Amino acid sequence: MPVFEIICLANSDKRGGRCVAGLKTDGSGWLRPVSRQPGGILQPEHYLLDIDCEPQLFDILELDCAAHRPECHQPENWLIQPKQWRFVGFPDLPQLNEILKPELEKSAALSTLFGNLGDRVDYPSLQKNPTAYSLLYLKPEKVQWVVQDYIIHKKYRAIFFSNLVQYNFPITDPIWKAQMDQAKLPEGQYSSAQIIDKLGLSDFTDDGFRFTMSLGEPFAPTGEGKQYCFKVIAAVMNTSQVIQRLTQRAGRSLPFMK
C-alpha cells in the first residue's frame, strides 16, 4: 500500500471532525487523507500523530493509504490505512518555497476560484463535470475580516480579491477561529491591520496573508432542495510568521509539543 509524505497545509473543522490536507513533498501535488466515515471525516483516532499531538501547519507527515478515492468534488482524496500517522519534521525554507511557489502561480492564474464567482458550486453540475481540483494555496489581496454574531457562537468570514475578482468565504481554520474568539470582537468588518493589532499578532504583516482553500462536502442549505459544495478558507497563514514558527518548533523537544 502506498506511503505518502506531505507538508500539512490544513487541519480544518469539518462537521464534528477534521479535514487534513497537504502538498506531497515529492512535488506531485495535493493529498487529502479521508476515513471511511461519511464525508471522509477524520476523528482524533485518525489524525493524532505518533508524538501524541495533532498535525500543525507546515509539519511533515508520513501516512499510509489504502487506495485513491477521488470524488467528483474532491479528486485529491486518498483513503487512509488504520495506522498512526508519523511526524517526520519540518521543511527548511528552500524546500517550502520550492513546493509552494508553483501553487501560488497556479492560483494567481485562475480567472475564478473553483470555476465560478460565488461561494459555492452546484453539486449536480459537479457530478456531470467533475472538478480538476478542490484545494488551492493562494495569496489573497485586500483582505477584510468579517465577524458575525450567532445565537451560540460567532462565525468568521474573509472578503478578499484574487485576480481582480472579489470573494467572500467562511473560515474553518480552528486555530484562527480560536484566536478570533479570544479577541471577543464585536460584529462587524475589520481590516487586516486592525485584526493584527486586536489579536496581538506581532509576527504578521498586512500583505503577508496566505490561504489554503478547499471545496467542501455536498450540503443542502435549509429550505433548498439542491446540494452545493461550499468554498471555505481551511487555513489562514502569514509569511512573516513562517520563519519564526519553523525556527521555534524545530528547536523544541518532542515532549514540549504534546
The span from the CA of 98 to the CA of 84, in Å, is 28
Q: Name the maximum alpha-carbon separation found in the chain.
A: 52
Other residues' Cβ atoms within 10 Å of the Cβ of residue 51: 15
4-18, 160-174, 235-249 — which is least confidently predicted?
Answer: 235-249
Q: Are 53 and 252 in contact (CB under 8 A)?
A: no
Q: Which residues pair with 26 in a beta bridge?
A: none
Mean pLDDT of 7-13: 96
The span from the CA of 129 to the CA of 111, in Å, is 18
Other residues' Cβ atoms within 10 Å of the Cβ of residue 184: 9
pLDDT 10s digits, 11-38: 999 988 999 999 999 999 999 999 999 9
What CATH architecture is 101-241?
Beta Barrel (2.40)
Q: Are 91 and 99 in contact (CB under 8 A)?
A: yes
Q: What is the DSSP string of 88-143?
A: EE---HHHHHHHHHHHHHHHHT-SSBTTBSSSEEEHHHHHHS--S-SEEEE--EEE
pLDDT value at residue 221: 87
Residues 6+ apart with CB under 8 A from 141: 160, 161, 162
Mean pLDDT of 213-224: 90
What confidence category does residue 250 fall into, taking pLDDT thresholds of 50, 70 and 90?
low
As given in the structure block, the three cell numbers for residue 120 are: 459555492
Q: Mean pLDDT over all residues of the chain?
A: 92
Q: Are 92 and 41 in contact (CB under 8 A)?
A: no
pLDDT at 212 over 90: yes
pLDDT value at residue 152: 81
Type of residue found at 136:
L
37-46, 86-95, 107-116, 242-251 — which is least confidently predicted?
Answer: 242-251
Residues 6+ apart with CB under 8 A from 248: none
